[in-house]
Amino acid sequence: MNDNVKDLAGRTIVVTGSSSGLGAAAAIELASRGATVAVVGRNPERTKAVADRAGGIPFVADFDHLQQVRELADALLTRFDRIDVLANNAGGLVTSRVRTTDGHDRVFQSNHLAPFLLTTLLLPRITKSGGRVISTSSNSNTIARLDLNDLDFDRGPWAGGWQAYGTTKLETILFIRELARRTAGTGVDAYAFHPGYVASNFGAEIAIMKFAQVISAGHLGLSPEQGAEPLVFLASTKDVGAPSGTYFSRMKANGRQHRTANDPVLAAALWAASERLVGRSSN
């Protein structure tokens, strides 16, 4: 085995959004390397099926409900004495403006606010384990228009949800940067990554995506297994060759980023705004 690859036996890895697509592929691969994997998804049947295949443990939570995120955190903390890796992979894109039961835009909540809440709830356990937080972002972050006074996208055109999606993926990078700053010296690492375009259920209801799949005979994009490679790399490699807080494009550090992605003031302000929205505050 490569000396830079962790022996995952005895390691606990939480993968959200792992009932299908690259999340499922990553959960199965990480389990095959010896990790105990918490398979988190919103669909009970698919989540259990992936957990059964991986020999992992299923946890069901719908990130459209922040209370379910809190209950998920409680269940994970009750079940596991250590959490070595939290992979925030849940989220997606919707074609129309939709509000969650918490009153937030669905894209904002599922892609940023819910993972933020889950991470902060689990962070003491991750810190105790000297663990790592990995978040799935996207090169779509380059089209972001982040307005801290309009995090729920009440203003401006919806444009099929793409700008909201890109904005939340910039928020993912900023969140990871601020998390890295806050955990410096604790042994915790934090990384974001772009998996590439994965042929999965992502954007399945969007007309242009349907058309692209038809004309490509279903071969548009990477396979889920290929898309999972950066997540597996970041979860299983001791030294990824870049400092905590780095954004990867696939396995290459410093992918294409919005001009504000390295703004520490913006990252700290987003963190503070997120804390207010989920009802948490820094110690």
Active site residues: 165
Query: Are 176 and 135 spatial neighbours (Cβ–Cβ below 8 Å)?
Result: yes
Nearest to 119 by CA among 108, 107, 131: 131
CB distance 15 to 84 below 8 Å: no
Measured between alpha carbons, how far is residue 276 from residues 101, 133, 192, 269 in Å? 17, 22, 23, 11
Q: What's the helix, strand, coil split of the chain in %, to 5?
A: 45, 15, 40
Task: Tell me the pairing of strands 12-15 and 57-60.
Answer: unpaired
